[in-house]
A and B are shown apart, each in its own frame.
Chain A
Amino acid sequence: MAAPESGDGNNGAARMVTLISSDNTRFEVEAAAASLSQTLQLTILDGGGGGGDGIPLPNVDSATLSKVLEYCIKHAPAAANGGAPNATAVDRAELERFDNEFVNIDQSVLYSLIMAAHNLEIEGLQSLVAKKVADMIKGKSPMEIRRTLGFPDPTPEEQAEMNAHMLEYGWAYE
């Protein structure tokens, strides 16, 4: 693979790659978008994912992968410009609006997303979801956090540990 096109492929001749989710759904996506994943970028630079091959992603199901790719496609142009220094204020505002909307989803989807972002090494997506989770946590007690994120009820032992810790830092809960 000598000198592939400069990466962003914005002239209609964009190189496409195929990703295969854990439940065997195939997603065809621009290489530039998929390359937001540090993990995929290496494979793609090596020429993988083209033709009929496809890159299998055994840790990401199709629902999550489609969501991940939605993010990547939206962010690829800005990422290709090195974090979008040339982007207009309108572009940035639009991206921000997209991001806010994008993470306005159920906690179970957020969980799958952040795990996928971690596995695929998509830094921007991981930060986005992490910030969303942090915002969900703020102002809540440990029990409220557990409920918000769908933790199972604490075992008596866990409850005792939580109590001990809360006692130790009582000031944090009032």
Chain B
Amino acid sequence: MGPTSAVSIWAVGFQMVSPDRLGPYTGPSWSDLPIDILLSILQYLEVPQRVTFASVCRTWHNAAVAYGIPCSSVPWFMSWADLIDKKNVQGARTTCSFYHLLDVNKAYDVSFPRGCFVACCGASHGWLVLVNELSNLVLYNPFTMTMINLPPVTDFACVEAVYNKGSLEHYIFGNGRVHETNFLGTWFYQKAVLSCSPSKGVDSVVMIIHRDWLSFVKAGQSKWQVASTLPVRGSDRYTDCVYHDGRFYSVTLHGMVEEWNLDEPNGPTRKSRAPWTYSY
């Protein structure tokens, strides 16, 4: 079965990935070249060669990173169209096709752990925000294969889990409608965005749009915090959210733009912004 201890893992915080643990080398050799020299070599290399360069050893890796190589988060396309056809195959490993901007004709198969990928509702900083088969959100880095569970869907007041003999049977949403555990998440979440990579040891925040709600969770917290709700029967709803320069921004169908400050001690605050409303 899929991940079960979501809360505890999230509460521990982000401490996993350490991609930059570079070890010592013995003897003076090419691996000990001063960074100035490595940079002077790098200037004669094109991007794919620089990436190869970065794999040679730690010193070279650091130099290539300093010089500039595309990080895994930037130029990949992920296609999960095939996934929709295979959705009914229970327990199968999920494989998606990745394409790189520099060579879009070539597809790279990337496999995901069993049960973690029913839908995808966001990608930021190299991490995918996936919906797993329990309709919970997980952060997954397909390159380091690191998974971080976010607080479960039952954390939202409108979702209730129904157990039968100790095992999760289904969810009840809102007005009492029953939903299969692996299905609720396919429509429940619209969009998720991360403030920064959770592997960097800094406070990362995930903001999600789910139905008419806007919620977020900070690294180390075990619960979703609701930032805003729109009237359930109203005609407006959240359509998109982004993170830019220390702030989250959301936009609704009717064009209401809000800037969010999540660092206030008394909970999130917002500033309305409507750039296309002219005032005279």
Q: Chain A residues in contact with chain B, CB under 8 A? A: 107, 111, 114-115, 118, 126-127, 130-131, 133-135, 137-138, 140-142, 145-146, 149-152, 154-155, 157-158, 161-162, 164-174
Contact = CB atoms under 8 A, between A and B. Distances in A.
Contact of B143 (A141, A151, A168, A174): A168
B57 interface: yes
B40 A130 contact: yes
Interface string B42-62: 111100110111111110010
B30 A150 contact: yes
B109 to A, nearest CB: 10
B97 to A, nearest CB: 12
Interface stretch (B99-107, B171-179, B201-209, B249-257): B99-107
Contacts of A145: 52-53, 56
16 contacts: A115-B37, A118-B36, A134-B45, A137-B41, A138-B45, A149-B30, A151-B29, A151-B30, A152-B27, A161-B21, A161-B58, A164-B19, A169-B51, A171-B100, A171-B103, A172-B52
Nearest to B47: A172
Given A130-B41, A161-B58, 18 more contacts: A111-B29, A130-B40, A130-B43, A130-B44, A137-B49, A138-B45, A141-B52, A150-B30, A151-B31, A151-B56, A152-B26, A154-B57, A164-B19, A164-B143, A165-B55, A168-B143, A171-B103, A172-B49
Given A111-B30, A171-B100, A165 B53 contact: no
Contact of B33 (A114, A165, A172, A174): A114
Contacts of B269: none
A149 B56 CA distance: 11
A171 B72 CA distance: 11
Contact of B55 (A114, A130, A133, A166): A166
Interface residues on B, range: 35 or more
Given A172-B51, A172-B52, A133 B41 contact: yes
A25 B48 CA distance: 44
A130 B52 contact: no
A137 B29 CA distance: 16
Contact of A171 (B30, B42, B108): B108
Contacts of A140: 52
Pick from B31, B40, B55, B103 the residue with the most CB of A within 10 Å: B55
CB-based closest 5 A-B pairs: A134-B44, A142-B55, A130-B40, A168-B143, A172-B51
A162 B53 CA distance: 11
Interface in B1-34: 19, 21-23, 26-27, 29-31, 33-34
A59 to B, nearest CB: 11
Contact of A172 (B34, B40, B48): B48
B68 to A, nearest CB: 14
Contact of B72 (A130, A152, A161, A169): A169
B228 interface: no
B144 interface: yes
B80 to A, nearest CB: 18
B48 A118 contact: no
Given A135-B44, A152-B26, A158 B58 contact: yes
A173 B143 CA distance: 16
